[in-house]
Amino acid sequence: MSTTFQLDTATSRANPTPAPMKRLTVPQIQRRKFEGRTENPLVMLTAYTARQAQLLDPHCDLLLVGDSLGQVIYGLPSTLSVTLDMMIAHGAAVVRGSYHSVVIVDMPFGTYEASPQQAFAAASRIMAETGCAGVKLEGGQAMAETIAFLTARGIPVMAHVGLTPQAVNALGGYGARGKSQQEHEKIVADGVAVANAGAFAIVVEGVLEPIAIALTKTVEVPTIGIGASAQCDGQVLVTEDMLGMFERVPRFVKRYETIAETISGAAVRYAEEVRARVFPGPEQTYQPK
């Protein structure tokens, strides 16, 4: 969907005028992989707010409104408590804040596993109430029927195999997947099943690198790695992890900045100036003429 909702930029700091640019589409993303190869790897980051979307949008092909917002934004212990209403509210904000990237919204735990019909009810709400381009759901062969059901009804689906955080209790933790030959074969089979069901791309998370490479070579749709391999057709990270907002991050994260230190340092300086009655100064106050 190419529609971007804008507020009056003269009155809202949150909505600067975007540069002219046409939004990418799901078919364009899928066509980036041609004859088994993606010359220009796909760039994907998470976004949860309109302002974050504005900053990331010009540099990304896709923005993922991930259910990781449960931990990053709400301080929840896992993604399992994230609700459909949460995802819709943040998804709509990211669509409003972007004009170039394909926006994909995670389907939260418990909104799609019971049946294809349940999944369609939740996915259609997400699409209609956010204006996003598609949804993402976790699971391999078990979700193939659901993916086929959704795609046949006009809902683009990004699949997610390997380490699937919503199944963390069943998996026994967040460790890398594919250490046994049986699990290796299952992950590849999961990827093939969701691709054949109609998924336009597949997130491959937390797997041994040979598995990610094998799956990327096997399926015709793009793979997007996170803790997988540079040989995937694209990459995704949680933006706050990449920016250094947290002390602890997964092993596969590369920190490109130390934003937490910047914020903390600014807060220290602000607090010092307030306590010294230095702020606000003449430049920040209104004086009689």
- Kindly list the catalytic residues: 205
Q: What does DSSP say about strands 37-38 and 33-34: parallel, antiparallel, or unpaired?
A: antiparallel
68 annotated as ligand-binding: yes
8 annotated as ligand-binding: no
CA-CA distance, 19 to 23, in Å (whole number)?
A: 11
Per DSSP, the three-state class of 178 is coil
67 annotated as ligand-binding: yes
78 annotated as ligand-binding: no
190 annotated as ligand-binding: no
Q: Which residues are annotated as a binding site for 3-methyl-2-oxobutanoate?
A: 67-68, 106, 136
Q: Which residues are annotated as a binding site?
A: 67-68, 106, 136, 138
Q: Which residues are annotated as a binding site for Mg(2+)?
A: 67, 106, 138
